[in-house]
Each structure stands twice: as C-alpha cells, then as structure tokens.
C-alpha cells in the first residue's frame, strides 16, 4: 500500500538508552524544521544523490521520530504505521538488541511489511558481511550502513537525504498509482464501451430488435434449449406489402415510423412464443419456440399488422405476408429454414398478399422456375431484348385504320417466344411490372414518331398506376420526347379500380388533363362496371373479346353487346369491339353501333417494319375519330 501522507517519520530501534539519547539530540533538531531552515541539507541531499533540490515551500523535514529498544517493538511500529497509512521514511536499526530478535531479523521482517522503507543498519561490529545482510533483507538500493559511534552531522545529513529521497519516491509512486488507477478506469470504460458496441452490433438501430447477427446468435442459444426439451423451432419470414409505395409517396420519415410501429406490433403479438429480428428494409424474421404455436402466432401477427398506422396526420394501411418453415428436429439450421421461409413468403405474395403460408417442396420447384424467368426478364428490360408489335384499330366499316395498339413481345434467346400472359404474370409477382410498363411507354412514345397521324394505344397495369409519381413521370417523358398526348390512348382494366377507385379516378383525371385519352379495356369482365363509369372520366369502352366470341355459340350474347353499346352511347363514349375474327361478327357489331373494331379479321399484330410497309401500300390510311 502506498502511503497517502507525505509526512516524513523516522523509527529508531536500539537497546542502548545512551544511544537513543544521542539520536534524540541529533534528530530533534530536524523535527518541525521547515523547508527554509533545511535548505542546506536538501542541497546536500541533491549533491549526494543527484536529486533536484527540494522546493522552497517544502513541508517540515521530519514530522515525528519514534524510539524503541527491542526488535519486536520496531516491527509492531512498522505494522501500525502501514495500517494507518503513515509509513516510516527511515528505520535506524542496531544490529544487536538482546534479549529479543537481532537487527538482521528485525530488518528482514520490516522489509516484508514495508518494501519501500529505507533501512539504515547502525553498528560498530557485525557478525554478518554486508552481502549477507543485503541478501537476507532485500532491496539493497534501500539498505544503508552507519558506523558507531556516529557523528551528529553525518546522522543529520543521512536522515535529511534519505527522507527527501523517500518523499520523491513516494510522490512518484503516488502519481504512478493515480495514473494506473486512471488507466484502469479508462480500461474499464473501454471494456464497457466495447461490450455496448458488441451489443449494438447485434441490434437494429431503428427498431431495437435483433439484426441478422443477433438473430443468428439468439437462434443458436434457443437450439440448445429446444433440443434438450424436444421442441421444434419454426421460422417466420415477414414482409410488409407494398411498403415501397409508402416511402415513395409519404417519405422515408413516415416509412421509418411504419417500420417502428410494425416492430412494436410484432413484438407484442409474439409475447412469450418467440422473438423477432429485423433483417433490413421491411423484412422481419420471427423464431417461434414451439411448432404447435405457429398457426396461432401467425394469425396474431396478421391481425395486429393489418390495423392502420396513424403518423403525423397520415393514415397508412398495410398488410403483411408471412412465409413459414419448420426446422429439423435433429439439426436445426437457420440458413435452410430462412431459405424455405423465403420461398413460402414468395408463395404468400403470389397468393394475393396479406396471408401466411407454410413451405412445401412444390413451392421450391415453382419459385425456381419463376425466379429464373424473372432474372431473364429483368435482363431483357435492361438490354432492350423486348419488342412491341402493333395491332391496327379500324373504324366500324373495317377501314380506315385510325390507330395502333401496342402489344408486348419477348423472344427469349433460349426458350423462344414466351407468351405475354406468362411473363407479365411473373413481372407482377416479382415487382418488375413497373419497370416493364415504363419500358413499354418509352418505346411506344419513340415508335409513334413513325406514324404521327395515328393514335397509339398503350395498356397500363394496376401496379403502374398505383406507383407514386407515375403521372408525373409520364408527363415528363412526354415533354422530353416531344410527343402529343392527344395521340395516345391509355387503356386500363377494372383491376386498376378495385383496390382504390378514388385514387385511380384521381390519377386518370390527371392523365386526361394532360391530354391523354382514357379507355376502359375488357369491359364487362370485372365487377360493378356501371359504378366505375360514373366516377372515371373514360373516353372509350372496349368490349371484352369473350362477348364477341360468344356470338358464335351462346344465345343472348347479342343482347349483352347491344346493352353495352347502348350504355356507351348514352354516356357519350366510343365503343370498340375486340377479337373480331369473322364477317358475321363484324356485320353484327357494325349494325348495333360499335364505332371501332380490332381483330384478326382486319389485321394481326405487326412489327414496326410491317406497319410502315402497310402504310406505304395503303395510301388511303388517315386519322379517323
């Protein structure tokens, strides 16, 4: 223990009373003396030991001198001094102190108690050589000798020098102890900071849930407990449906609020049945501790997450899709379980979103084929492997041609021509439909420059119209490409209107205000079509081809078509019949008042080159409303 007080205390042990009196006379002059009166001695200490002179404001040279006549008493004094943090600077020991222990043994014991004390062996004759004494006592650099009879000045000089040196040594020791304590505190703080950093490294900063690293660690810990108890772990993969629309339309601040709210609901719904982790974006994972609890847990999650979120005055309605996989009982593997749960999640989204589905091997076969096709489709969009064909739209008599409907085609480099229904379905399942739709609009705008006097019809997907900023993108593209919106007809199906008719109506009005013509495609094949007509600013109805085809075989089909044409006429809408393939159909449709038609009877879909050739061979083609 390092002394806390810098007071310099001396201990003298000698069995001779006369010698002790001599010590008192000599050392008494140093007790209570301040730095100014002891400056000569301090200077002598500096000269003898190479120390810096003591400062002028140094404390008294000696505070106290303790005298005892036996070695045992000296040892007890040192013990008490150390215990009270008032250690001795110097101990003067006589080598012979009968009848108790001698000076050598006394010094050895004192050194064991206080390694830093300066021990001065004072003797006129010794039974031991200095080397033997040094070996027995230790710390030879703090071991000194003074011969009897000693000179008073010599004793004062030695006491002064050793006391000053002790003060410097203990001061350095104190400072070192402070520095060590400071370093220890810094080290403890660093360890605590590292521990916190490691903890944060396992947590998601936005939600406070585990992240991927934390999920893996927690899963491994649960595996041991589940294996010991015979429980089967299950993994649920959660994904918010159409979360990108929220970020794009309301901003990332609202999106972050939805994520935090979703995380809280997930945690509450789980309760004691498992734990949750955020994987990134709007993707979450839940580990269920026991397979029999999965069905109930997934239902709680679906219900909790379907409630609207109210953030800064905005009401956001979201649903969640869930994929479920069960771990092997023998060797639970998180990576494999997550892979299977991801496949099940994809199946849940394909099934309409907002549902939970468990993994089945058949899903893997389906998704692998879909994923390959989606990957190829993404590449085809990026590298312009797709093409547009154009089917002419004709007036009621069958001519002239008044416009062209853009139809998408994909010649796969390995699989050949892929039907549009196949790859469009893949695009809708994998969120490629927006990129695909934007590609069609851009290409149709570019191709239309080749026939500026013909209307170009473009089909819009529900996902395109729902996408935030769609109207603005179309308007910007029209300006950049210098096209006339009045020469384009944008076709939508009733599927666009089912989810949010008010939002769809607003966007279609905006497109109409820009100058585009709006057509309702496949009219009659959906639900509540009459209600939509009163809310949406349509310019044209296109009779679904199934009604035209029914003219050949089903009674009553003609009455349905008459009703549709009459409805369109009463609302001031043009009516186009699709899928006209024979003369009888043409005659009937012309008779009931269809204003325009398209179908194989007139023209099949044509390449751009074929359209130009057709126009060159048909000079009478002109724009006709």
pLDDT, one tens digit per residue, over 207-261 is: 889 898 888 888 988 888 888 888 899 999 999 988 877 777 778 888 889 999 9
Q: Which residue has the higher pLDDT, 255 or 625?
A: 255
Give the whole-number percent of the chain exceeding pLDDT 70: 89
pLDDT score of 620? 41
Q: Strand 574-577 and strand 540-543: pairing? A: parallel
Number of other residues whose CB lies within 10 A of the CB of residue 77: 19
Return d(Cα 69, Cα 60) in angstroms, integer. 26
Question: pLDDT tens digit string along 561-603?
Answer: 888 888 888 888 899 999 999 999 999 999 999 999 999 999 9
pLDDT at 504 over 90: no
Higher-confidence position of 292 and 59:
292
May I ask the CATH architecture of the domain 212-359?
2-Layer Sandwich (3.30)
CA distance 91 to 299: 84
Report how far residue 504's alpha carbon sits from residue 178's, in angstroms, rounded to the nearest whole number: 74
173-195 burial, b at 16+ Cβ within 10 Å, e below that, comes to: eeeeeeeeeeeeeeeeeeeeeee
Given this structure, which CATH class describes domain 9-176? alpha beta
Tokens 């590609």 sit at which residue?
439
CA distance 355 to 351: 8
**How far are the Cα atoms of 223, 225, 329, 330, 336 from residue 228, in angstroms, in the given order?**
8, 5, 11, 11, 21
For the chain, give the mean pLDDT: 84
Q: Which tens digits make up the pLDDT trace of 368-404?
A: 777 788 899 999 999 999 999 999 999 988 889 999 9
CA separation for the pair 563, 541 (Å, rounded): 12
What is the domain partition of the chain in residue ranges? Answer: 9-176, 212-359, 376-617
| Banded pLDDT at 60 (limits 50, 70, 90) | low
**For helices 557-570 and 583-592, what crossing angle results, to 10°?**
40
Tally the residues of the chain.
Answer: 625
Over residues 40-55, the mean pLDDT reads 52
Ordered alpha helix ranges (H), 383-490: 420-429, 433-448, 462-466, 470-480
pLDDT of 197 over the 80 cut: no
Mean pLDDT of 11-34: 86
In sequence order, the 6+-apart residues with CB closer than 8 A to the CB of 283 are 237, 238, 239
Contact between 418 and 376 (Cβ < 8 Å): no
Three-state DSSP state, 413: coil
Structural fold of domain 376-617: TIM Barrel (3.20.20)
Under 8 Å between Cβ of 322 and 298: yes
What's the confidence (pLDDT) of residue 50? 54
Q: What pLDDT digit, counting tens, does each position of 272-328 carry?
A: 999 999 988 889 999 999 999 999 999 999 998 888 888 877 778 888 999 999 998
């Amino acid at each position: 223990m390092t002394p806390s007080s810098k007071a310099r205390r001396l201990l003298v042990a000698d069995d001779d009373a006369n010698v002790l009196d001599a010590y008192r006379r000599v050392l008494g002059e140093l007790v209570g003396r301040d730095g100014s009166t002891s400056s000569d001695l301090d200077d002598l200490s500096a000269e003898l030991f190479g120390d810096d002179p003591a400062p002028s404001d140094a404390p008294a040279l000696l505070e106290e001198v303790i005298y005892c006549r036996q070695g045992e008493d000296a040892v007890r004094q040192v013990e008490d001094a150390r215990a009270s943090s008032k250690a001795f600077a110097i101990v003067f020991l006589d080598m012979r102190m009968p009848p108790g222990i001698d000076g050598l043994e006394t010094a050895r014991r004192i050194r064991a108690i206080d390694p830093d004390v300066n021990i001065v062996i004072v003797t006129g004759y010794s039974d031991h050589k200095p080397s033997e004494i040094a070996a027995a006592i230790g710390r030879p650099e703090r071991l000194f000798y003074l011969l009897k009879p000693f000179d008073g000045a010599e004793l004062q000089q030695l006491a002064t020098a050793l006391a000053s040196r002790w003060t410097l040594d203990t001061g350095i020791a104190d400072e070192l102890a402070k520095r060590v304590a400071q370093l220890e505190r810094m080290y403890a703080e660093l360890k605590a900071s590292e521990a916190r950093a490691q903890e944060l490294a396992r947590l998601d900063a936005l939600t406070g849930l585990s992240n991927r690293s934390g999920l893996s660690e927690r899963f491994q810990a649960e595996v041991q407990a589940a294996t010991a108890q015979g429980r089967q772990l299950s993994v649920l993969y959660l994904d918010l449906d159409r979360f990108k629309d929220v970020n794009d339309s309301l901003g990332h601040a609202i999106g972050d609020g939805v994520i935090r709210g979703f995380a809280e609901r997930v945690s509450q719904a789980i309760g004691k049945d498992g734990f949750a982790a955020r994987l990134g974006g709007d993707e979450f994972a839940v580990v269920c501790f026991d397979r029999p609890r999965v069905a109930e847990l997934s239902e709680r999650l679906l219900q909790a997450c379907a409630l609207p979120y109210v953030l800064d005055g905005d009401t956001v309605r979201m649903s969640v899709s869930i994929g479920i996989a069960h771990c092997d009982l023998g060797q639970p593997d998180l990576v494999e379980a997550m892979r299977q749960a991801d496949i099940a999640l994809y199946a849940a989204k394909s099934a309409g979103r907002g549902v939970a589905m468990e993994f089945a091997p058949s899903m893997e076969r389906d998704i692998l084929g879909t994923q390959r096709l989606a990957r190829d489709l993404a590449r085809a969009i990026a590298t312009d492997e797709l093409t547009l064909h154009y089917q002419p739209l004709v007036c009621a008599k069958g001519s002239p041609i008044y416009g062209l409907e853009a139809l998408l085609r994909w010649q796969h480099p390995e699989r050949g021509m892929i039907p549009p229904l196949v790859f469009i379905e893949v695009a809708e399942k994998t969120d490629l439909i927006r990129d695909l739709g934007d590609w069609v609009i851009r290409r149709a705008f570019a191709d239309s420059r080749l026939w500026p006097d013909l209307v170009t019809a473009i089909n819009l997907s529900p996902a395109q119209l729902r996408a935030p900023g769609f109207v603005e993108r179309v308007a910007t593209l029209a300006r950049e490409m210098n096209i006339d919106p009045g020469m384009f007809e944008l076709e939508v199906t009733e599927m666009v209107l089912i989810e949010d008719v008010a939002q769809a109506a607003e966007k279609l009005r905006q497109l109409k205000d820009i100058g585009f013509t709006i057509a309702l495609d496949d009219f009659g094949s959906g639900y509540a079509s009459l209600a939509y007509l009163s809310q949406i600013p349509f310019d044209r109805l296109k009779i679904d081809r199934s009604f035209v085809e029914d003219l050949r075989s089903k009674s009553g089909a003609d009455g349905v078509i008459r009703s549709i044409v009459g409805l369109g006429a009463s609302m001031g809408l043009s009516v186009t019949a699709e899928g006209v393939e024979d003369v009888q159909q043409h005659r009937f449709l012309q008779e009931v008042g269809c204003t325009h038609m398209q179908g194989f009877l007139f023209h099949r879909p044509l390449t751009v080159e074929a359209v130009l050739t057709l126009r060159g061979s048909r000079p009478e083609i002109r724009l006709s409303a």
